[in-house]
Structure 1
């Protein structure tokens, strides 16, 4: 008697496994007397890097991303929110604005899906300032 393998199990045997490369979180701390930091980094595929920055409501934050990869962007998310305060893939690679709340902001650097799917790498320079 022959047993048949369920279709889902058969697909698992022939489908490529896509690893979730996840994300890294890096706390940004300014040196004494400084209000800006320049960070050099890189990421690959679906990986993202989350830079966390403490700031107060009313302060001004500027973020600039310099990269050779046209699919490399960043988002800025305010404390306690899920929706981005700034979406780089829509607005570009420079953000500046007055912060609406006090707490830890996240600057998430990522590759768009088209580049991530191809496993591209992006080297970047990220400048974050809070005044």
Structure 2
């Protein structure tokens, strides 16, 4: 019975969607349509930046490394409103600079994360994320 309970707990952890360790809503200064945000990611952490947008707008995002004690394997995904983790853009596949057509009104999430040895070895990566909506 005890093994069954552990299996139930373990399977629920695998199914539940991940929630960000850090989340912030990005607001542009009056008259601006963009902002630069940044931070530091360690190991398996990730950081979610949330932007409220309208259908038909276009998002530009560019991620650069500002410092690291590893190889600097930092990436971002763009998640549409209501996403359970499925991205409309994945920079680990398509590169750390993107222009994305926004097809839904609502809150999009830009999730910054590490991969490879930097993630597995708990390395630290500083980054800057240039965001704009037009």
TM over 0.5: yes
Aligned residues: CA RMSD = 1.2
Quote how far apart the aligned CAs of 1:81 are.
2.1
Question: Are 1:77 and 1:106, in contact at CA under 8 Å, matched by a contact in 2?
Answer: yes
Question: Are 1:46 and 1:113, in contact at CA under 8 Å, matched by a contact in 2?
Answer: no
Aligned to 1:76: 78
The equivalent position to 1:117 in structure 2, one of 99, 113, 120, is 120
Larger radius of gyration: 1
Quote how far apart the aligned CAs of 1:114 are.
2.6
The equivalent position to 2:39 in structure 1, one of 14, 38, 41, is 41
Unaligned runs of 5+ in 2: 1-19
Quote how far apart the aligned CAs of 1:23 are.
1.6
Quote how far apart the aligned CAs of 1:30 are.
0.4
Unaligned runs of 5+ in 1: 1-21
SS at match of 1:89: helix
Aligned to 2:56: 58
Which is richer in helix? 2
TM-score by structure 1 length? 0.80
Question: Are 2:77 and 2:87, in contact at CA under 8 Å, matched by a contact in 1?
Answer: yes
Aligned to 1:128: 131
Alpha-carbon distance between aligned partners in 1 of 2:23 and 2:30, rounded to the nearest angstrom: 22
Alignment length (residue pairs) = 110
TM-score by structure 2 length? 0.78
Alpha-carbon distance between aligned partners in 2 of 1:26 and 1:124, rounded to the nearest angstrom: 15
